[in-house]
Chain A
Amino acid sequence: METLIQQFINGLVIGSVYALIALGYTMVYGILGLINFAHGDVLMVGALVALQTMMFLMGMAPGMSPLVMLAIALLVAIVVCMLLGFTMERLAYRRLRNAPRLAPLITAIGVSFLLQTIAMIIWGRNYHTYPQLISTTPLQPIEGVFVTPVQITIVIASAALMIGLLLLVNRTKIGRAMRATAENHRVASLMGVDTNAVIAFTFVVGAALAAVAGVMFASNYGIAHYGMGFMPGLKAFTAAVLGGIGNLGGAMLGGVMLGLVESFGAGYIEHLTFGFLNSSYQDIFAFIILGLVLIFRPTGLLGERVSDRA
């Protein structure tokens, strides 16, 4: 029973991080039909920039309270990632909006590897230990079940951000413009929406969420390096597809579900395969789920049916 609860908690924590990343994928996909392959690497940049800032602050103002330090680092990471998101859209994707369909995706893959390479040049190949500015001393709310303050913070902060995003999209003027653009670019621009600005805005918001997710991810595992964005990126994409790509609520649901599946899967895979596979296979769950969803319900759990018009 304790393990069950424990795995639920672990799954929920990592699932909320996936959900945050998945939102970025889903927003961009909803509006452009593009899988922004480099989205996971924005997360990595966010984590590493925050790390750099924290190191800098620790050197400059050693007496600063950890929370303030974290807030500043987070802010810097968010700003840098927003700029990055904006630049990517502006320099690469915008020119490819009417290109043959494989071109944007191939470019996105190139951007992803370029970001990793640049990160490798700046921060080297090694793993950096991530400063734990929020306590990682586990609490024991139930006998035998552990949860750290970092984990609690992650879940709460993700929930808050997601609610904020939903409000942004559903209640504000720019949100309405985003929905209109997602519905139909041409019509939206005829109605006076500056679709270019909306698209850029979407990238920027997605990048900001990724920055936060990056800091969370690195804090949770206590480690960061240039390739750290790849797996969570892929998994978040899976989450977005699972929930129904293009659908915000779907991305959140998909993220949390994927986190849970992974957590339970890793815990039980040995029993399920009679000891043949162990938890080092944890990463394959996401791919298997992705495959299954795409085959049996390509529109995802909450997605609408879209058909290719003849």
Chain B
Amino acid sequence: MITLLEARNIGKRFGGLQALSDVSLTIRKGEVYGLIGPNGAGKTTFFNVLTGAYTPDGGEFVFNGSELPVGKPHKVVGRGIARTFQNIRLFRELTALENVMAGHHIRTKAGVWGVLTQNRFTREEERLTTERAYELLKYVGIERFAEVVSKNLSYGDQRRLEIARALATEPQLLALDEPAAGMNATETAQLKLLIEQIRRDGITVMLIEHDVKLVMGLCDRVAVLDFGKKIAEDVPAVVQRNDAVIAAYLGGGKHAH
């Protein structure tokens, strides 16, 4: 098993609130790794710190053998980590296709000069970007909405579009923050298939999810956060029976959906 990502003693504080304390975990290449925990446990914060949206107070991430830059989201994406957001954040005024095309930004090069002169390279790159974006829309199953402005898409389709956009950055690790939130049973089942497909295509997935069935069905391993601390990490079946985990979910008084 090759290690893809290693988080070492990550800490993050918001004023008086320790959102993450000393979190260490290891993600192996090719697995689906679940990150669960009650509301406010620090899961999203972990994503934010990992992807450079926030700077951690301590600790480091080692990705593919070298340390990730801190607080520089675009560089993290360049290294091969892409994410989606818990509260969908699409480019509202762009069509579905354009959203995914924008996601290809970091893998393309055209600059102002090329764009103004419309040279061969730029035209070719633009064509490839369009094609790839279309393929990705097809991959997530919403190619028929390619030309729909994204703010007009249904909730489930917006979630899938966000995944397509993340995939356009050609990641090795895809971090999904509650992708099933707000989806109905059919949509969730489709989502499960999609994530399985993504894994088969060689992309490692890190998944935050409250839907227990989905997590248990998909994940190879699961880590549980509670009040910013990792309280368990194992295969789903074991984690499910862990006393600390059960206590965290019951004790917090906030049940998972």
Contact = CB atoms under 8 A, between A and B. Distances in A.
B48 interface: yes
Closest 6 pairs between A and B when the two form their complex, measured CB to CB: A310-B53, A310-B48, A310-B54, A310-B44, A310-B85, A307-B54
Interface string B171-201: 0000000000000000000000000000000
Nearest to B47: A310
Contacts of A307: 54
Contacts of B48: 310
7 contacts: A307-B54, A310-B44, A310-B47, A310-B48, A310-B53, A310-B54, A310-B85
Contacts of A310: 44, 47-48, 53-54, 85
A297 to B, nearest CB: 18
A307 B55 CA distance: 12
B148 to A, nearest CB: 20
Contacts of B85: 310
Interface residues of A, number: 2
Interface in B21-77: 44, 47-48, 53-54
A243 B128 CA distance: 51
A151 B167 CA distance: 66
A307 B54 CA distance: 9
B122 to A, nearest CB: 31
Nearest to A308: B53
Nearest to B83: A310
Interface string A266-310: 000000000000000000000000000000000000000001001
Nearest to A304: B15
Nearest to A305: B15
Nearest to B51: A310
A300 to B, nearest CB: 18
Nearest to B48: A310
A206 B229 CA distance: 46
A310 B48 CA distance: 7
A146 B47 CA distance: 62
A217 B75 CA distance: 51
A307 B53 CA distance: 11
A125 B44 CA distance: 58
Interface in B193-244: none
A31 to B, nearest CB: 22
Interface string A149-176: 0000000000000000000000000000
B128 to A, nearest CB: 31
Contacts of B44: 310
Contacts of B53: 310
Interface in B131-156: none
Contacts of B47: 310
A31 B54 CA distance: 26
B110 to A, nearest CB: 28
Interface string B108-133: 00000000000000000000000000
A51 B141 CA distance: 69
A299 to B, nearest CB: 13
Nearest to B14: A307
A182 B207 CA distance: 35
A150 to B, nearest CB: 45
